[in-house]
């Protein structure tokens, strides 16, 4: 079994910062791409940022210059550093990862989501 557990969400004022973490655990052989998505009320889930196993990153235009994605392969963890937060960043943030296990091969796993609210 594989689990992705997010942490670090919460309430922050506009202009503030938060750091999200997502740790993968279980019968993991290897982890390929990892990423963060978000879903605001009434909107579709959208890509925020993604990172390959080699460290190459891709960020949505709306967060470039404000958010940074990174990963610690030794800890099977991906991070999302969010600076200069805006009210429009309010959403549930989900992490995902393509993980290889002996039972399922390559499979896309999702975390349960963590709420980020930007409000004064």
pLDDT band at residue 54 using 50, 70 and 90 as cut-offs: very high
pLDDT in tens, 83-93: 999 999 999 99
Task: Render pLDDT for 63-105 as a digit per residue (tens, 0 to 9).
Answer: 999 999 999 999 999 999 999 999 999 999 999 999 999 999 9
Q: What is the pLDDT of residues 15-53, one digit of tens each?
A: 999 999 999 999 999 999 999 999 999 999 999 999 999
User: SS3 letters for the chain?
Assistant: CEEEEEECCEEECCCCCEEEEEEEEECCCEEEEEEEEEECCCCCCEEEEEECCCCCEEECCCCCCCEEEEEEHHHCEEEEEECCCCHHHCEEEEEEEEEEECCCEEEEEECCCEEEEECC
């Amino acid at each position: 079994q594989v689990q992705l557990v997010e942490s670090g969400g919460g309430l922050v004022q506009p202009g503030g910062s938060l750091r999200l973490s997502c740790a993968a655990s279980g019968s993991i052989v290897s982890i390929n791409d990892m990423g963060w998505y978000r879903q605001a009320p009434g909107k579709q889930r959208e890509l925020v940022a993604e990172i390959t196993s080699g460290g190459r990153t891709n960020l949505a235009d709306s967060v470039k210059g404000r958010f940074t994605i990174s990963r610690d392969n030794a800890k099977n963890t991906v991070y999302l550093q969010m600076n200069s937060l805006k009210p429009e960043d309010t959403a549930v943030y989900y992490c995902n990862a393509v993980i290889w296990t002996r039972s399922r091969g390559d499979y896309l796993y999702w975390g349960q989501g963590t709420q980020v609210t930007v409000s004064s």
